[in-house]
Amino acid sequence: MENKSLQIVLLFCISYSTFGQWQQSAGTAGLNIQSLLTNGIYNFAGGQTGAYLSTDTSANYISSNNGNDAVGPTRGFTKDSIYIYTCTSQGAFRSLDNGTTWVSKSVGLTNLLGSGILNVGTRLFYVGPTGVFMSTDQGDNWNAAGLSTTDVRSIAAISDTLYVGTNGAGIYKSMDWGVNWVTVNNGLGGSVNFRAIESKGNTLFAGGPIGTGVYRSNDFGANWTLLAGGLASGSYRGFTSNSQLIVAGSFGGGVFYSIDNGDNWIAINTGLTNLTIFDLELNNSYIIAATNTQGIFRFALSNLNLSTGISDLKFNSTISISPNPTTNKIKVTTDFALLGSVYTIYDNIGKSVLCGKINSVNTVIDFENLTRGIYYICFGNNLKQTYKLIKE
């Protein structure tokens, strides 16, 4: 019955979404755009000619390059609670005023050319041809964080575990902020070039090279599977996601979305005048696409008829875990919305070691039979909320 319901939903989305189409954002025609970011009402875009800004849900963009690199590509954005950051051909830049002005922040970067930038808690990470760099002072200073002889093209994180995609060496994982890196290439079938990687809860998606497609890992990178289900073969350069969907952008094949965590995909390309997608982003109303030669397009989320049922409400639930670190037991405290949801605990190589249900607003979980080490607990039927645990 559940599978039949899913088929009905998918068929409805297919028929419904054919009436929706992409709209080109004014001010971007003919532009090469490689990166996107949403920060409240501010929608940022970056490409060959620098940074651009929209404050009307991506309908119109204007140049936002005062102090930013305008002569080489802006390849990435990230944010924290205070600043917006760019990753460019001339290093990292920072803005305190949502793109009105930018300040260079590249002290310690041995190669300014950047391929990606990511904020994780109180740390920033910058990746490029000479590996990974980390800043713990909001970009004022950078220090090497491993893979110095590796061309790193993309970066993502689950909790405080880092994942990077490289040009020529596959995917690496670090659980200690870049002090040590290990390859996690099982299931990649010899693919070694990964220009996009995305974390959606505790699920990882990686964009493979030409002739492959999108790979998925449900066990923290320990194993990967090449996805099908309507997803075209090819090279993938961009992702975006929220609790309801994952969206993938291909090199020459356009945009695909999935509402079942990547099992099935639907193409949404009507209105796109360039099908080479370098990045994707979501704001409250639209999917935003960065194209190679025709600028920015937006696609109304209302076209997808996404539901907002109780399963979505669960993932806005507040969760607290104590004590952490623990020696034998933890208490999970949450609100009533999460009651009845499952939890799964994984060890640091992605193996499931314990599972159960949240049956109370104060659920006690026994850790006594687990060895000392780092674990991850994931909540919900799609395991979308992930927390790190330490057993002492």
Dihedral through CA 76, CA 36, CA 274, CA 65, nearest 10?
-80
Q: What is the pLDDT of residue 3?
A: 43
Percent of the chain with pLDDT over 70: 89
Q: What is the pLDDT of residue 312?
A: 38
When divided into structural domains, the chain yields a total of: 2
Q: What is the pLDDT of residue 71?
A: 87
Lowest mean pLDDT among 111-120, 145-154, 189-198, 337-346: 337-346
Quick one: 103 and 121 in the same domain? Answer: yes
Quick one: 207 and 155 in the same domain? Answer: yes
Rounded to whole angstroms, how far apart are CA atoms 34 and 356? Answer: 42
Of 286, 304, 322, the last residue of a domain is 304
Give me the CATH number covering residue 358: 2.60.40.1930
Closest by alpha carbon to 69, among 96, 48, 90, 53? 90
Question: Model confidence over 350-359: pLDDT tens digits?
Answer: 677 888 888 7
Q: Are the C-beta atoms of 280 and 237 separated by less than 8 Å? A: no
Quick one: 289 and 366 in the same domain? Answer: no
Burial class (CB in 10 A: 0-12, 13-18, 19+), 221: buried
Question: Model confidence over 205-258: pLDDT tens digits?
Answer: 999 999 999 999 999 999 999 999 999 999 999 999 998 899 999 999 999 999
Of 269, 304, 339, the last residue of a domain is 304
Q: What is the largest CA-CA distance in the chain?
A: 61
Question: Model confidence over 280-296: pLDDT tens digits?
Answer: 999 989 999 999 999 99
pLDDT (average), residues 260-289 = 95
Quick one: 270 and 364 in the same domain? Answer: no
Rounded to whole angstroms, how far apart are CA atoms 23 and 20? Answer: 10
Give me the CATH number covering residue 154: 2.130.10.10
SS3 369: coil
Q: Are the C-beta atoms of 83 and 95 separated by less than 8 Å? A: yes
- Could you tell me the pTM of the whole model? 0.78
Rounded to whole angstroms, how far apart are CA atoms 321 and 330? Answer: 7
Quick one: 266 and 123 in the same domain? Answer: yes
Q: What is the pLDDT of residue 11?
A: 36
Rounded to whole angstroms, how far apart are CA atoms 79 and 86? Answer: 9
Dihedral through CA 329, CA 330, CA 331, CA 334, nearest 10?
-150
- Looking at the predicted structure, is the pLDDT value of residue 266 above 80? yes
Rounded to whole angstroms, how far apart are CA atoms 93 and 138? Answer: 11
Q: What is the pLDDT of residue 344?
A: 82
Domain housing 335: 310-391
Of 281, 304, 327, the last residue of a domain is 304
